[in-house]
Amino acid sequence: MKKYIDQSMDYTEYRNRISQWLSEDKTSGTNHSEEMLHYTRMNERRMKRLDKKPELLPECVERLSQIEKPITLLIITEAWCGDAAQIIPVVERMVAHNSSLTTRYIWRDENTELIDQYRTDGGRGIPKILFLDSKTTEVLGSWGPRPAEAQQLVRDYKKNPSVPYSEFSEQLHKWYARDKTVKIQNEFTDAFLTAIKKLPSELGS
């Protein structure tokens, strides 16, 4: 796991790389088609908006603030991924309230051997967030690629793709808009605290 951390980047670099690629009409990975560029441009706008709002849930921030042991969140993602754009800024804002928590980012398609260890329903769904003990790099748990209700929408669509994917994608992003990040915040916090129960002394008990 250490090699992935060594090649990872922080949130600022992650965002800067995406902006730089877009200025060159590129995105992450090898597919720089107009469709993928369109998704990436929309994602950049989403992330800018979510960097500032909506409000964080005080109960989630409070629960995360109790963690004392250094934990690294290794986030597997891609610039063109709509779910990543909806989730990552929210997670980044949440963990920023605790200096013991660090986020690092790596590209999925450059690290397929890693994402293949954390497949969702057989696929390479992202974003995938791995919770690591910062000192040992032990993987304590993971969360992603999306809240359970949204994941069920994806499952149902794959079983019966009655509309083009672009239309389904719009429906999925409408779900995110209606939810106002509530399920992201609650499910991420629950998964995180469940993972670090392997380290019971770190919750201040």
Instruction: Report DSSP letters for 6-62, one per residue.
Output: HT-B-HHHHHHHHHHHHHTT--SSS---HHHHHHHHHHHHHHHHHTT-SPPPHHHHH
Query: Is residue 152 included in any domain, yes or no?
Result: no
- Total tally of structural domains belonging to the chain: 1
Verify cis geometry, omega within 30 degrees of 0, for the bond prior to 127: yes
Query: Is residue 20 included in any domain, yes or no?
Result: yes
Query: Is residue 90 included in any domain, yes or no?
Result: yes
Query: Is residue 45 included in any domain, yes or no?
Result: yes
Query: Is residue 160 included in any domain, yes or no?
Result: no
Q: CA-CA distances (angstroms) from residue 159 to 151, 154, 155?
A: 13, 9, 6
pTM flag (> 0.85):
yes
Give the number of other Cβ atoms within 10 Å of residue 18's Cβ: 22
Q: 59-115, pLDDT tens digit by residue?
A: 999 999 999 999 999 999 999 999 999 999 999 999 999 999 999 999 999 999 999
Which domain does 43 fall in, by range?
2-145+181-199
- Would you call 131 helix, strand, or coil by DSSP? strand
CATH code, 97: 3.40.30.10
Contact between 199 and 133 under an 8 Å Cβ cutoff? The reply is yes
Query: Is residue 24 included in any domain, yes or no?
Result: yes
For residues 32-54, average pLDDT: 96
